[in-house]
Amino acid sequence: MEKRKMGLTKTISIKSNYLLLLVGYVAAQDGVFDLVAKYGAKPDGEISQALMTAWKEACAAPTLSTIVIPKGTFLLNQVSIEGPCKAPITFKMEAILKAPADPAQLNPDLEWITFRNIDQFTMIGGGTFDGQGKTAWANNNCKATGKCNKLPNNLSFNLLTNTVIQEITSLDSKLFHVNVLGCKNISFVHFTITAPGDNLNTDGIHIGRSNGVKITECEIQTGDDCVSIGDGSQQVTIEKVTCGPGHGISVGSLGKYPKEEPVVGIYVRNCTITGTNNGVRVKTWPASEPGAASDMHFEDIIMNNVSNPILIDQEYCPSGQCTQQVPSKVKISKVSFKNIRGTSATMLAVKLVCSKSIPCNMVDLADIDLKYSGEGPGTSTCSNVKPTFTGIMNPSACPELVLQPA
């Protein structure tokens, strides 16, 4: 009899544990919002409505939730995905999402996909956002006119905090691939950007008025700046990024608009730049509005056949339609270029052209070794700046100045 009681007790215990596991599984599933399994999204179909319904429910959930777009190819019109939400959200994007190819089907005043006003947001999954930009590029003659048509960026992250974007690809955006605006503590890890090198204004990641941006171990191939840093950007770290084709890694352009905010704390380290129009640069407009950029450091960078590998350009005027004789009013200070080596596609490898009215100060160069890939030695030029030099300097630095090594 005692054995039967013990057996019955054991059976009840096993069943109770099973029920607890089942309840836990159901609860876990309640936190998963799968667009195919739960909302009827179908491969090759348009999923805007399914995505927005899933987001509304996930955003209202009181505990961690995960939106899943499973593997497959789906079409997606313009959407704005907004918080605030009640709890952290993971956006697991395993699919290929395709934007409308025809720009006429899109509102040029909106981005393709916007994420706005969200805290503790994570995007993972290995998926691809395909902007299908080929048609837009063909009708966007920026190079000839100096002006680009207003087109949607692939992804805009606005007013996000404590965010991680990891193992995601942006492909063939019509304009910028990623725009980061008003964000705090946002990281891009193993993020891939791919587009042809001959399409202007397809910047990789553009940052503006954001604090605590980290771009790590990313691969960026595009037709404009791999990373561009606009006004109000603070504490931006770019590490282990491969860049090229494109226009390099840039601070600016600055000074074009009134009331721009200072740029402070830019760190570019351990990057490889290949075949780009520029390497690392700071650029401001002539006849600019007042502004400031300081505490900017470019270190341990390999240049592979890069034009203009090291550049401060306070006479930036890509269209040739500027008042060049009026100097820039953007103050540049506390800039360092250290341990930058490789090959330059242009004879002029180091160009530091600062403002006549507000010269650059506290500019340091150390251990620069850039060999011109053509015939003859590389050169450098400096104006309105008195940099300090340490270690190797190839090409010879600033022949215009009487150099006093630090």
Catalytic residue numbers, as ranges: 224, 247
**Contacts (Cβ under 8 Å, ≥6 apart) of 22:** none
- Cis ω on the peptide bond leading into residue 108 (within 30° of 0)? no
How far, in Å, CA of 65 to CA of 31, rounded? 5
In the DSSP assignment, the letter for residue 30 is: H
How many Å apart are CA 161 and CA 89, to the nearest integer?
12
Task: For 255-329, list the strands marked E by DSSP.
Answer: 263-274, 280-284, 291-306, 310-313
**Residue 379 has what DSSP assignment?**
E
Distance CA 323, CA 316 (A): 11
Q: What is the spatial distance between Cα 4 and Cα 358, in angstroms, rounded to a whole number?
A: 93
Measuring CA to CA, which residue among 130, 135, 187, 134 is closest to residue 157? Answer: 187
C-alpha span between 303 and 300 (Å, rounded)? 10
> Which among 293, 222, 304 has a CA at the least distance from the CA of 271?
304
Q: In sequence order, what E strands does 11-105 have?
A: 32-34, 65-69, 73-75, 79-82, 89-93, 96-98
Biggest CA pair distance of the chain: 105
Cα 352 to Cα 122: distance, rounded to the nearest angstrom: 40
